């Protein structure tokens, strides 16, 4: 064998190996067209993105006896709001209400969301609702939440605070004062943790 042939032999071997690898790759993967097709075909089981819980209201402990959301008309036939409250809701340009009421062990708990029209300050609604209960003899109770106004009369509690365009309410009443107080405070903590209060209205 000539010197030239001996030098050419390794090159030939390498080229043969590369050709073999290319052949195997072609046989397994093809020319890539099926991958391009797969990119155009929607995934029948897409991976859902992480979804943040956007519910503003928590669900109080107990059995749900009332749950509703919508415009004022959806609450017109309900007696859960007094006539004075309904008047305030109308005057303060509330565009949407949401409520969840539960009952268990002779304790009734509730959470409300009053959303005012865009461009309207919710502070006026907050003041009107809080003043209504203050004038009705409900005493102010300090809590660990400085931006929440909690009032009590007997075994009846109502708390209000502002968040964005909403005024949120937590309420509770029942026969056993200690049990009602404990349940209301727990609900208040849960609701403020879910939807923190804006700075206390002046």
Domain edges within the chain: 3-40, 63-194
* 163-190 confidence digits (pLDDT tens): 999 999 999 999 999 999 999 999 999 9
Phi, psi of 66 (to 5 degrees): -155, 130
Starting at the edge strand that comes first in sequence, how are the strands of the sheet with 156-163 ordered? 63-70, 94-104, 107-116, 166-174, 156-163, 149-153, 139-141
pTM (two decimals): 0.73
Confidence of residue 50 (pLDDT cuts 50, 70, 90): very low
Look at residue 5 and give its three-state secondary structure: helix
Q: Beta strands of 36-143 (E only): which ranges?
A: 63-70, 94-104, 107-116, 139-141
Q: What is the rounded CA–CA span in Å between residue 157 and residue 180?
A: 9
* 29-39 confidence digits (pLDDT tens): 566 555 455 55
Per-residue pLDDT, 81: 93
- Contact present, 167 and 160 (Cβ < 8 Å): yes
Confidence of residue 76 (pLDDT cuts 50, 70, 90): confident
Residues 50, 52, 57, CA angle at the centre, nearest 5°? 155
């Amino acid at each position: 064998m000539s010197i030239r042939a001996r030098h050419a032999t390794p090159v030939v071997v390498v080229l043969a190996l590369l050709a073999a690898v290319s052949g195997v790759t072609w046989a397994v993967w093809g020319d890539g067209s099926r991958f391009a097709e797969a990119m155009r075909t929607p995934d029948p089981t897409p991976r859902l993105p992480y979804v943040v819980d956007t519910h503003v209201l928590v669900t109080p402990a107990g059995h749900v006896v009332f749950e509703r959301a919508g415009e004022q008309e959806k609450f017109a036939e309900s007696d859960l709001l007094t006539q004075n409250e309904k008047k305030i809701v109308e005057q303060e340009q509330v565009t949407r209400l949401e409520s969840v009421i539960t009952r268990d062990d002779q304790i009734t708990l509730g959470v409300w969301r009053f959303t005012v029209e865009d461009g309207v300050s919710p502070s006026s609604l907050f003041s009107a609702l809080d003043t209504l209960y203050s004038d009705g003899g409900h005493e102010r109770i300090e809590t660990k939440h400085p931006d929440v106004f909690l009032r009590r009369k007997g075994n009846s509690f109502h708390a209000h605070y502002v968040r964005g365009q909403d005024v949120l309410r937590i309420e509770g009443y029942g026969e056993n004062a200690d049990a009602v107080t404990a349940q209301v405070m727990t609900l208040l903590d849960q609701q403020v943790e879910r939807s923190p209060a804006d700075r206390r209205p002046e």
